[in-house]
Amino acid sequence: MTSTVDGSTAALTGDAPGPAAPAWRFGEFAEGLRQIGLGHMPHTEGMSGIPEVMMGGRKLVNFAPVNFLNLHSREDVMGVFTDAARTYGLATGGARISQGVTKPHVDMEAELCRILGKERAVGYATGLVANIGFIHGMSKSIKWTDGLEMDHSDVVFVYDRESHWSLWKAADHLKYGERLFSFKHNNAEDLEKVLQRLQGKRVVVVFESVYSLDGSVAPMHDIVDVCERYGALSFVDDANGFLVYGPAHRPFAEEYAGMLRSTFIMVSLKKAVGLEGGLIVGPSDPIFSLELLGMTSAFTAQVQPPTAATAAYAMRLLTQDEPKIVDNYLERVEKFRGLLSEEGVRLYPTPSIMTSLHVGSEEKGMRLKAKFLEHGYRIPIYVFPAAKKNNSVMRLILNASHTDEHIDGFMTLLRKFKGEFDL
Ligand SMILES: Cc1ncc(COP(=O)(O)O)c(C=O)c1O
């Protein structure tokens, strides 16, 4: 008799007894991934997400991390984390609905409300989970007891076409053309045309502030104006611009003033804050209802208490105590973009913190990545489904701790490969 393990494996390889079922084809797919250069999942030997990392026994200059302010390696930030771990422990002990939250969670959520001027916040384990929780809660129905129910089964969603994978994934259960619609990227006029056709329905408009791949920034006043004209709710995913943009003296201040008018805002802790987690802010009752409506806070974990404490600290640091961190960073990003422009490479036009270059086919992107790696540079190449098919992108997010030598080294390599890769 075959063991359970062998039996399960036999099903994968097609050797299982019984009538033949369609093959699983994992082997073929995995081989295909290896052939386009995605076979090796790198691991960092020391600290991760910093401008120089140890990988495979080599020191690499790292242009791939998204925690671009490098706060997580500051002594004071680490101190807050370790102190909170000792005071509040390493875990909440369960889901939000059963265990409640800890003081650091309350503090983190209050801090976010203060910054974004909203009434209430709810935290999730990641930004992706927050997006899924939101769309799920706003699109489904729940009945607790007679009279205590919420029916969202008629709600319609209108997405910017370039919205993040996590938002589209969250809407998998909604039929396109019935409950799910889209508008042309960053185009408030096209949104208006879609909303005109949906009058009389409850609508949620979903878009991002700064788009992950090309760094484009949404015309948020215009979009929110249209939402308000048609009585639609608005949801902005601000994973990328959170704590960077907003103040009047920084770029995109006008757009960010528009963002604050939206009904809901989602932020990720992965980028400027440099940790992991996601939160949604908005009006009090809808956010409170969402905690239970989406059930995303009932069946999963939230961020750990030390993460919450450190997130609150980082938010205060960047908005009140040391906002210069961001100002100095933005100045360096501008200079970096200037250097790339002088090289004449195909940069995406919006001068935000994403300094992205169009590369081309997946195969070309992977070859370019390998070339940089040979020379000790780790660069991020985004391929389908993060990018459009056959349109891989080198998405460069400068790190606040990259030195001039790191940047010079990168530019030298870029010059070297520019012709060969037609960049
Ligand atoms: C626009 C956008 N939304 C959501 C997410 C998911 O956030 P998280 O990594 O916190 O799950 C990302 C992540 O990069 C993102 O860029």
Q: Among residues 264, 294, 321, which one ends one of the domains?
A: 321
- The Cα 211–Cα 354 span in angstroms is 9
The pLDDT, as a whole number, for residue 7 is: 65
pLDDT bucket at 326, cuts 50 / 70 / 90 = very high
Ligand 1 pocket test target in 164, 168, 208, 271 with most atoms within 8 Å of CB: 164
Examine residue 350 and state whether it is found in any structural domain, yes or no.
yes
- Secondary structure (DSSP) of 63-109: ---S-TT-GGGSHHHHHHHHHHHHHH-S--SS-HHHH---HHHHHHH
Would you give the distance in Å from CA 339 to the centre of its chain? 27
200 and 176 in one domain?
A: yes
Max CA pair span of the chain:
73
Supply the pLDDT for residue 2: 40
User: In terms of domains, do 281 and 375 share one?
Assistant: no
Residue 34 within any structural domain of the chain: no
Minimum CA distance residue for ligand 1 atom 2: 239
pLDDT at 142 over 80: yes
Is the model more confident about 265 or about 36? 265
Alpha carbon of 127 to ligand 1 centroid (Å): 5
Among protein residues, the one with the nearest Cα to ligand 1's atom 9 is 127
Per-residue model confidence as pLDDT tens digits over 199-216: 999 999 999 999 999 999
Return the higher-pLDDT residue of 102 and 14: 102
Q: Is 403 within the bounds of a domain?
A: yes
Confidence of residue 415 (pLDDT cuts 50, 70, 90): very high
Residue 4: predicted pLDDT: 47
What pLDDT is stored for residue 295 in this prediction?
67
Closest CA to ligand 1's atom 16: 212
Tell how far the Cα of 289 is from the centroid of ligand 1, in angstroms: 23
Cα 105 to middle of ligand 1, angstroms: 20
pLDDT tens per residue across span 351-400: 999 999 999 998 899 999 999 999 999 999 999 888 999 999 999 999 99
Does the pLDDT at position 3 exceed 50?
no
CA–CA gap between residue 423 and residue 417 (Å, rounded): 8
pLDDT, averaged across the chain? 93
> Of the candidates 291, 321, 351, which is a domain's last residue?
321
State how far Cα 184 lies from the chain centre.
Answer: 21
Distance 11 CA to ligand 1 centre (A): 35
Indicate the residue among 288, 321, 354 that finishes a domain. 321
CA pair distance 377, 314, nearest whole angstrom: 29
- Would 156 be classed as within a structural domain? yes
| Domain hosting residue 146, numbered range | 75-321
Residue-level pLDDT at 392: 94
Ligand 1 center to residue 337 CA distance, Å?
Answer: 23
pLDDT in tens, 243-279: 999 999 999 999 999 999 999 999 999 999 999 999 9
Determine the distance separating the centroid of ligand 1 and the alpha carbon of 12, expressed in angstroms: 33
Report percent pLDDT > 70 for the chain.
98
Pocket of ligand 1 (CB under 6 A): 126-128, 131, 164, 166, 208, 212, 237, 239-240, 268, 270, 278
- pLDDT in the model for residue 417: 95
Residue 6's pLDDT is 60
> Is pLDDT at 194 greater than 80 in this prediction?
yes
Q: What is the pLDDT of residues 58-98, one digit of tens each?
A: 999 999 889 999 999 999 999 999 999 999 999 988 888 78
* CATH code of the domain in which 271 resides: 3.40.640.10
Looking at the CA of residue 163, tell me the nearest atom of ligand 1: 1
Distance 212 CA to ligand 1 centre (A): 8
In this prediction, residues 131-146 reach a mean pLDDT of 92
CATH of the domain at 49: 3.90.1150.10
Q: What pLDDT does 13 receive?
A: 75
Asked, for residue 84, whether it belongs to a domain, the answer is yes
